[in-house]
């Protein structure tokens, strides 16, 4: 049995990652590949419970180190119970965010070093990395317009942080992509969903059977 491929979407809020994950799953299924579509934090019952703890806006919130540990714990459960078993069955796993989000948000934005975030990932998830990480990059005015158009969408605890925090997150993602060009594809997310979908499929072409 050939191991499946692990594809992650990354980027800031309003980048269109969830839409693109769904469109990619449809395109791969049309080619006869079995896909699992999932997200972080979340994807298993335990990780979804941790998601509610992390993103809820009740109470005083988490200290940065506790926040990083909770993301790593959610990911550990997700990797162990969902991602690795699916890959071993030969399925493709398409994940809306993975460890590079922890590196960008808890590392780049919240004061832990990149090495510390990667240590937590090694302990929790054996250091698993995607075969390809699609970084969807959207310019700030386009993000602002998209977020404003999401009717009644209240920002969560992390999405609601200030623009300097989100700018640091975007800069961190760019640094990671530049440092590991073989693992990342940078995708211009300003266009229509269809244009972005074509760019995603082109970036994925070398991995297709």
Q: Which residues sit at the interface with ligand TMP, rule CB under 6 A?
A: 13, 39-41, 55, 71, 97, 101-102, 105-106, 156, 158-159
Please, which residue, 5 or 97, has the CB nearer to ligand TMP? 97
Please, which residue, 159 or 191, has the CB nearer to ligand TMP? 159
Q: Which residue is nearest to ligand TMP (CB)?
A: 105
In angstroms, give the least distance from the CB of 100 to ligand TMP. Answer: 8
Please, which residue, 158 or 177, has the CB nearer to ligand TMP? 158
Residue 102 tokens, joined: 């922890």
Residue 79 burial (10 A CB sphere; 0-12, 13-18, 19+): buried
Please, which residue, 33 or 174, has the CB nearer to ligand TMP? 174
In angstroms, give the least distance from the CB of 53 to ligand TMP. Answer: 12
Please, which residue, 66 or 202, has the CB nearer to ligand TMP? 66
In angstroms, give the least distance from the CB of 2 to ligand TMP. Answer: 28
Q: Is 208 helix (H, G, I), strand (E, B) or coil?
A: coil
Using left for φ > 0, alpha for ψ between -120 and 50, and beta otherwise, residue 162 falls in beta
Nearest to 51 by CA among 73, 36, 19, 83: 73
DSSP secondary structure of 72-83: HHHHHHHIIIII
DSSP code, position 51: H
In angstroms, give the least distance from the CB of 185 to ligand TMP. Answer: 19
Nearest to 8 by CA among 207, 168, 154: 207
In angstroms, give the least distance from the CB of 190 to ligand TMP. Answer: 18
Using an 8 Å Cβ cutoff, are 207 and 28 in contact? no
């Amino acid at each position: 049995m050939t191991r499946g491929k692990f594809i992650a979407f990354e980027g800031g809020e309003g980048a269109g990652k969830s839409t693109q994950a769904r469109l990619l799953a449809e395109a791969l299924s049309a080619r006869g590949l079995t896909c699992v579509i999932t997200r972080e934090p979340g994807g298993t019952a335990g990780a979804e419970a941790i998601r509610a703890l992390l993103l809820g806006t009740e109470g005083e919130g988490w200290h940065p180190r506790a926040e990083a540990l909770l993301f790593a714990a959610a990911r550990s459960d997700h990797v162990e119970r969902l991602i690795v078993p699916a890959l071993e069955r030969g399925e493709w796993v398409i994940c809306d965010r993975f460890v590079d989000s922890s590196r960008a948000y808890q590392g780049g934005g919240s004061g832990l070093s990149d090495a510390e975030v990667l240590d937590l990932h090694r302990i929790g998830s054996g250091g698993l990395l995607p075969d390809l990480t699609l970084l969807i990059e959207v310019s700030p005015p386009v993000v602002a317009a998209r977020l404003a158009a999401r009717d009644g969408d209240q920002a969560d605890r992390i999405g609601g942080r200030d623009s300097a925090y989100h700018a640091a997150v975007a800069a961190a993602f760019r640094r990671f992509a530049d440092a590991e060009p073989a693992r990342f594809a940078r995708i211009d997310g300003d266009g229509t969903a269809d244009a972005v979908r074509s760019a995603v499929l082109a970036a994925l072409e070398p991995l297709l059977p």
